[in-house]
Amino acid sequence: MIRRAALVLALAATLAAAPAATATAAAPGVVEVSNTVDIRCAFYTMRANADWYFPSGTPRGLVYLQHGFSRSNGNMQDLAEHYAAAGFVVFAPTLPSANLYGCTVNNIGNNTDFLNNVADLLGKATDPTDKLGRSFADARTKAGRAGLGLPTTYVLSGHSAGGEVASYVANRLRTTYPAQFGRVKALVLLDPVKSPVGSSTVDAFRGCAPPACPCTRSRRRRTWPTATPAAPWR
C-alpha cells in the first residue's frame, strides 16, 4: 500500500511540473505567462499550474481551457494561442490525473467535490480578491497588462476528459452561481470523453443542454443534439 501510494504521488508530481515565472513569446500579438492558481483539494489548497494568454487588444471574453487525462496545459498551447489571437484571454490550468484525494481531471473514484472547487474559480471570478482574480492579477502584471480587467463573459472549452470537466463546471455554475452562468456564452467540447467512473458527463448534459447551454461539440463542430447524452465520446 505504501509503495502504491508513493507511485501515485510520484506520478502526480511528474504531471504537475513547476511553471515558468516570466512572459514568453507566443503567436504574433499574443503574450503567454505562467503562474499558479489556488484550488481547494480535500483538506489542503492545491497550487495548480496555470497558463494565461493575452490578446493584443481589448479582450472579447475569457476562455477557460481544460486539458484531458494524462496531459497538461502545455498540450493546449496551440489551441490557446488561436483563442487568444481571436481576441480572448485564455486561462488554462493543469489538473492532476492522479491524486490520493480524488482531485483529478478525470473521475477515478469521486472527483466531484474537486470539480465543484474548480467551478468555484469562475463562480467567484468577479471578486478580484478571490482565487481566479488573484491569479489573473499576477498574470496581467507579468504580461505588461496591469490595467486590464478580467473579462466578464466566458467560454468553457475542454478536450477529452477536459470536456467532461468543462460541461460539469457549466452545469455547476447553472445550479450554484446562476448570475455567473448567465455570463457563459459558449461551451466548446473537443472529443469529450466520459470518465469510466461516475455520472458527471450524463448529469451535466441533462442539466446543461440547449437552450440552457450554447454548445459546440468536437473538432467537426457538431452541435449538442447530434449525439446521445450518455455517449462515452472519444
Residue 33, pLDDT score: 97
Residue 71, pLDDT score: 93
Which amino acid makes up residue 76? Answer: M
State the 10-residue block means of pLDDT for the chain, 234 residues long: 34 38 68 98 97 96 96 93 97 96 93 97 98 98 96 97 96 96 95 90 84 61 33 32
Residue 25, pLDDT score: 56
171 and 207 Cβ atoms separated by less than 8 Å: yes
Residue 26, pLDDT score: 66
* Long-range CB contact pairs, 121-129, < 8 A, 24+: 121/37, 121/39, 121/64, 122/64, 122/154, 122/156, 122/169, 122/173, 122/177, 122/180, 123/172, 123/173, 123/176, 123/177, 123/180, 124/177, 125/62, 125/150, 125/152, 125/154, 125/180, 126/150, 126/152, 126/180
Residue 4, pLDDT score: 34
C-alpha cell recorded at residue 91? 486561462
Residue 217, pLDDT score: 54
Confirm whether pTM is higher than 0.85.
no
Residue 234, pLDDT score: 30
Residue 220, pLDDT score: 42
52, containing H or E segment: strand 44-54
Residue 178, pLDDT score: 96
Residue 27, pLDDT score: 73
